[in-house]
């Protein structure tokens, strides 16, 4: 099955961010540093603690990330992409809303919508924008 998965970049705090997402979303987290990879010798010693690849999996949910590797090019957080989390239950959306917004910012409160869903937008403490959606059963 072909999929598109978000791949997030961080400025040296990938491990912290992905551990936070694991606490929020659950699942299994795999992390590999540059120093643990076969490519370690190609990088300066001070870069070897950076995360080369992180993978958080929970069922069909897959979130990928790494620390930014190009010191000549800073990460610029834009407003053109949101992570959209489609939830299975009302309890689930409430839990994710509470956890992801902790120490972050609520952009749009969790509320019922005209399209028959519960919906919210939050910016987490790492600056990532999340759209949370729970489609209520159609009557």
Check if 7-67 and 83-135 are the same fold: yes
Q: Which CATH architecture has domain 83-135?
A: Roll (3.10)
CATH number of 7-67: 3.10.180.10
* Residues forming beta bridges with residue 73, ordered by sequence position: none
pLDDT (tens digit, 9 = 90+) per residue, 45-103? 988 999 999 999 999 999 999 999 876 777 888 877 899 999 999 999 999 999 999 99
Which pLDDT does position 43 carry in this prediction? 87
Q: Global pTM?
A: 0.87
Q: Is 94 helix (H, G, I), strand (E, B) or coil?
A: helix
Locus of tokens 């795999």: 30
Buried residues in 37-72 as b, exposed as e (16+ CB within 10 A)? eeeeeeeeeebbebbbbbbbbeeeeebebbbeeeee
Structural domain spans, the chain: 7-67, 83-135
Phi-psi region of 103 (alpha: psi -120 to 50; beta: other; left: phi over 0): left
Question: How far is Cα 12 from Cα 136, in angstroms, rounded to an integer?
Answer: 39
């Amino acid at each position: 099955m072909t999929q598109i998965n978000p791949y997030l970049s961080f400025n040296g705090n990938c491990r912290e961010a992905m551990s936070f997402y694991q606490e929020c979303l659950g699942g299994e987290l795999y992390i590999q540093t540059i120093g643990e990879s076969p490519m370690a010798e190609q990088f300066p010693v001070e870069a070897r603690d950076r995360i080369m690849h992180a993978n958080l999996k929970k069922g069909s949910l897959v979130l990928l990330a790494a620390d930014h590797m190009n010191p000549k090019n800073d990460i610029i957080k834009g407003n053109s992409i949101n992570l959209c989390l489609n939830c299975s239950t009302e309890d689930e959306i409430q839990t994710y809303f509470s956890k992801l917004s902790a120490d972050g910012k609520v952009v749009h409160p969790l509320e019922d919508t005209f399209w028959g869903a519960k919906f919210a937008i939050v910016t987490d403490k790492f600056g990532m924008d999340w759209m949370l959606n729970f489609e209520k059963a159609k009557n």
